[in-house]
């Protein structure tokens, strides 16, 4: 499944946020979205999810304008993991993950046994079956993020969009989420995530979208950023990129000058 | 999987048993008590050939007076509890209820306006429904426009809109004919089930069922509606449509309770809380449980209101005595967190 952001422009009032943004999420790839505060990362994700209407341009899912798709059809193609969720009522983890089955369940009907199995399967894939009966307000930040990812998996959508999945997580949990994203790629999911850490982007991505303050965006492979020039420009700080052998493969790291 | 399903069934069965116990008990309390064994025989005699061992008087007390009143009390309790429950989910706010959201005050105004124009029965219900719905929509719009604490915003706009509709009701009373309409309106709004019977039952039973069935069918999706709006949208559910159905159903049920029993406060706030504490939050269990607990609660309170003293205590007074301290407890508990 291929998602294309096709020449999207968007502004709040007279303030232009995105100006002719174009890129494609290739099937089975990890794409990361980086840029400074206010560059429009969350706005772009909201446009991709159809929460906002672009001033110009469109979002295509397998060539079909996503605004012409039914909400249900869109939900079967794209799942959304928000940066922060507020649960007013304390559902169990299993009940929360089960909500991901919504697009597959008829309007006036309730989840069936196979939906329950899908939800448990999603928990199993992330190794958090043991949390199934835990109320969601008793989870750590990392566990909560995994629960949200499990809900997206239960949704059976091929494309996962995560808005700053590591914001407010401690370092081990940030790594856990990154490893989970890599794991999901091996299962055939296409993933887009936004992040404030160029390091995370370099660590797992196949493509990196650099969203600049003037509303323009460019898509690069991590190797193309090796000279550090574009990243330095993006963040307004001189940055150096290096390749390090970790013993389990080579990693790109990004450090200030 | 199986154990989870049967657990849900067991919880609902326990609430059904509780309701039936209150139902039977309330026949045996009052000026003309009908014991459980006799009651069951009288009720079954309409369907089965059972030898008559009771007096005609007992039979007419059961069928003409007590059964209709108990059923009205049950329906009103059910409706108030479930509409409170729905509002709490839809507005993502555990502190709201039909009275907090101005729905009761709006419906009360609508009902008194209808009485002023000499309408009755259906006309009163429709007018109550229209004004109740209007009040909720106003509170919702104003509450969402307030920045910052959304929970507080809804409660404050609820207080304001309630106050406007209450002033409207006062104005209606002022212009009402003091000999006929005024006593009718005052008595009507008092919050009492005294004198309710078959006519009231006939008026509310069909529309209430029509309002509650879609809610039960949608109960699982109500869980999703308690998520932030964008998450619910991303799950592909028709958020606006479900919200509209739920708000219309809850407002209709509240209006019907006002049309037959006047303003009965607090039930819609307190019962959903107690239910969720017992059953957990999943609406598939908690919504039907709220309905049953609401029915049992109001039937019990109504039984108390007609038997504590020789003259009836309006039920609204009793529910306030129980509900207001509970609300205080919730605020204090919320403050501590």
In this complex, the residue of A49, A90, A91 whose CB is nearest that of residue B234 is A49
Output the pLDDT for position A213.
94
CB contact under 8 A, A50 and B233: yes
> A170 — phi, psi (to 5°)?
-75, 170
Indicate the CATH number for domain A3-256. 3.40.50.300
Sign, CA dihedral B227-B232-B234-B240, equals negative
Q: Is residue B5 part of a domain?
A: no
Task: Note whether A74 contacts B: Cβ–Cβ < 8 A.
Answer: yes
Subunit contact B234:A79, Cβ cutoff 8 A: yes
B195 to A20, A123, B72, B199, B312: CA distances (angstroms): 70, 56, 11, 10, 10
Look at the block and give the residue holding tokens 């989840």: A111
What is the distance in angstroms between the Cα of B288 and the nearest Cα belonging to chain A? 14
Contact A75 B89 (CB under 8 A): no
Pairing of strands A3-12, A250-256: unpaired
ipTM: 0.93
Are B105 and B175 in contact by the 8 Å Cβ rule? The answer is no
Across the A/B interface, how many CB contacts are shorter than 8 Å? 85
Give residues 51 to 90 of B whose Cβ lies within 8 Å of A.
89
Average pLDDT over residues B48-66: 88
- B330 touching chain A per CB within 8 A: no
Domain extent, residue B44, equals 11-330
In a domain, B335, yes or no: no
pLDDT, position B294:
97
CATH (domain of B279) = 1.10.3470.10
Taking contacts as CB-CB distances below 8 angstroms, the residues of chain B near A155 are 235
Q: pLDDT per residue over B110-128, tens digit each?
A: 999 999 998 877 888 899 9
B74, B16 contact by CB (below 8 A): no
Q: Quote the CA–CA distance of A183 and B146 in Å, as a whole number.
A: 43
Give the residue among B91, B174, B101 at the shortest CA–CA distance from B138.
Answer: B101
CA A229, A233, A239, A245 torsion: positive or negative?
negative
Query: Using CA atoms, how far apart are residues A96 and A54, in angstroms rounded to an integer?
Result: 31
* Residue A187: burial class (beta carbons within 10 Å; 0-12, 13-18, 19+): exposed
Q: Over the stretch B170-195, which tens digit does the pLDDT of each residue have?
A: 999 999 988 888 888 887 788 888 88
Q: Which residue has the tokens 């592909």?
A: B236
What pLDDT does residue B4 have? 53
**Of A85, A103, A117, which is closest to B236 when you measure between CB atoms?**
A103
Interface check A132 vs B, CB under 8 A: no
Residue B284 lies inside a defined structural domain of this protein: yes
Q: What confidence category does residue B168 fall into, taking pLDDT thresholds of 50, 70 and 90? A: very high
Q: From the CA of A14, how many Å to the nearest CA of chain B? A: 22
Q: Is residue B6 part of a domain?
A: no
pTM of the model: 0.91
- Chain B residue with minimal CA distance to A89? B281
Q: Kind of pairing, strands A3-12 and A78-81?
A: unpaired
| Mean pLDDT estimate for chain A | 94
Q: State pLDDT tens for residues B277-292.
A: 999 999 999 999 999 9
Tell me the C-alpha to C-alpha distance, in Å, between residue A134 and each of A90, A92, B337: 9, 5, 20
Confidence of residue B5 (pLDDT cuts 50, 70, 90): low
Domain ranges within chain A, ordered by starting residue = 3-256
Kindly report, residue by residue over B319-335, the tens digit of the pLDDT. Answer: 999 888 987 887 787 66
**Are residues A11 and A170 in contact, defined by beta-carbon separation less than 8 angstroms?**
no
Q: Which residue of B has its CA nearest to A136?
A: B281
Instruction: Establish if B213 belongs to a structural domain.
Output: yes
Q: Is residue B4 part of a domain?
A: no
Number of domains composing chain B: 1
Determine which of A75, A108, A111, A137 to mutate to test the interface with B (most B C-beta atoms within 10 Å): A108
Residue-level pLDDT, tens digit, chain A, 257 residues = 899 999 999 998 888 999 999 999 999 999 999 999 999 999 999 999 999 999 999 999 999 999 999 999 999 999 999 988 888 899 999 999 999 999 999 988 999 999 999 999 999 999 999 999 999 999 999 999 999 999 999 999 999 999 999 998 999 999 999 999 999 999 999 999 999 999 999 999 999 999 999 999 999 999 999 999 999 999 999 999 999 998 888 889 999 98
Task: Tell whether B290 is covered by a domain.
Answer: yes
Neighbours of B114 (CB within 10 A): 25
Per-residue pLDDT, A188: 95
Q: How confident is the model at residue B3 (pLDDT cuts 50, 70, 90)?
A: low
The answer to whether residue B71 is domain-embedded is yes
What pairs with residue A12 in β-bridges? A15
């Amino acid at each position: 499944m291929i998602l294309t952001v096709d020449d999207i422009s968007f502004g709040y009032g007279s303030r232009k946020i995105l100006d002719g943004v174009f890129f494609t999420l290739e099937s089975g790839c990890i794409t990361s979205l980086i840029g400074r505060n206010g560059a429009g990362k969350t706005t772009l994700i909201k446009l991709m999810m159809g929460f906002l209407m672009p001033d110009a341009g469109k979002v295509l899912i397998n060539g079909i304008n996503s605004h012409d798709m039914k909400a249900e059809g869109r939900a079967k193609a794209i799942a959304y993991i928000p940066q922060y969720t507020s649960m007013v009522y304390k559902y169990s983890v299993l009940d929360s993950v089960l909500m991901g089955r919504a697009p597959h369940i008829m309007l006036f009907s309730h989840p069936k046994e196979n939906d329950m199995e899908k939800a448990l399967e999603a928990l199993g894939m992330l190794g958090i079956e043991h949390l199934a009966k835990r109320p969601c307000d008793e989870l750590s930040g990392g566990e909560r993020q995994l629960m949200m990812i499990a809900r997206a998996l239960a949704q059976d959508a091929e494309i996962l969009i995560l808005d700053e999945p590591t914001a407010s997580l401690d370092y081990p949990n940030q790594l856990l989420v990154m490893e989970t994203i890599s794991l999901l790629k091996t299962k055939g999911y296409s993933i887009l995530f936004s992040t404030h850490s160029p390091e995370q982007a370099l660590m797992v991505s196949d493509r990196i979208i650099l969203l600049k303050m003037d509303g323009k965006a460019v898509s690069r492979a991590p190797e193309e950023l090796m000279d550090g020039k574009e990243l330095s420009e993006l963040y307004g700080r001189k940055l150096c990129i290096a390749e390090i052998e970790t013993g389990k493969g080579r990693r790109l790291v990004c450090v200030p000058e | 999987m199986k154990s989870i399903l049967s657990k849900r069934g067991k919880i609902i069965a326990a609430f059904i048993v509780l309701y039936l116990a209150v139902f039977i008990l309330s026949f045996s309390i009052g000026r003309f008590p009908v014991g459980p064994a006799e009651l069951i025989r009288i009720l079954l005699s309409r369907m089965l050939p059972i030898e008559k061992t009771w007096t005609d008087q007992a039979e007419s007390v059961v069928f003409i007076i007590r059964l209709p009143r108990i059923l009205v009390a049950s329906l009103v309790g059910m409706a108030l509890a479930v509409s409170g429950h729905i509002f709490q989910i839809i507005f993502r706010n555990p502190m709201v209820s039909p009275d907090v959201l101005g729905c009761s005050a709006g419906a009360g105004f609508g009902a008194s306006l209808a009485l002023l124009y000499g309408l009755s029965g259906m006309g009163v219900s429709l007018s109550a429904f229209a004004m109740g719905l209007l009040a909720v929509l106003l509170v919702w719009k104003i509450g969402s426009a307030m920045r910052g604490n959304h929970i507080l915003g809804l409660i404050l706009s609820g207080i304001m809109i309630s106050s406007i509709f209450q002033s409207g009701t006062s104005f209606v009373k002022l212009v009402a004919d003091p000999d006929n309409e005024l006593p009718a309106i005052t008595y009507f709004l008092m919050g009492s089930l005294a004198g309710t019977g078959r006519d009231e039952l006939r008026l509310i039973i069909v529309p209430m069922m029509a309002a509650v069935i879609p809610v039960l069918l949608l109960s699982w999706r109500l869980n999703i509606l308690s998520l932030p709006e964008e998450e619910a949208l991303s799950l592909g559910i028709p958020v606006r449509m479900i919200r509209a159905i739920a708000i219309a159903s809850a407002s209709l049920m509240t209006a019907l309770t006002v049309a037959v029993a006047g303003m009965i406060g607090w039930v819609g706030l307190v019962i959903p809380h107690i239910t969720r504490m017992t059953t957990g939050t999943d609406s598939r269990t908690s919504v039907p449980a709220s309905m049953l607990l609401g029915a049992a609660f109001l039937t019990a309170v109504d039984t108390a209101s007609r038997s504590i003293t020789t003259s009836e205590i309006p039920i609204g007074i009793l529910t306030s005595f129980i509900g207001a301290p509970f609300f205080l407890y919730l605020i204090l508990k919320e403050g501590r967190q």
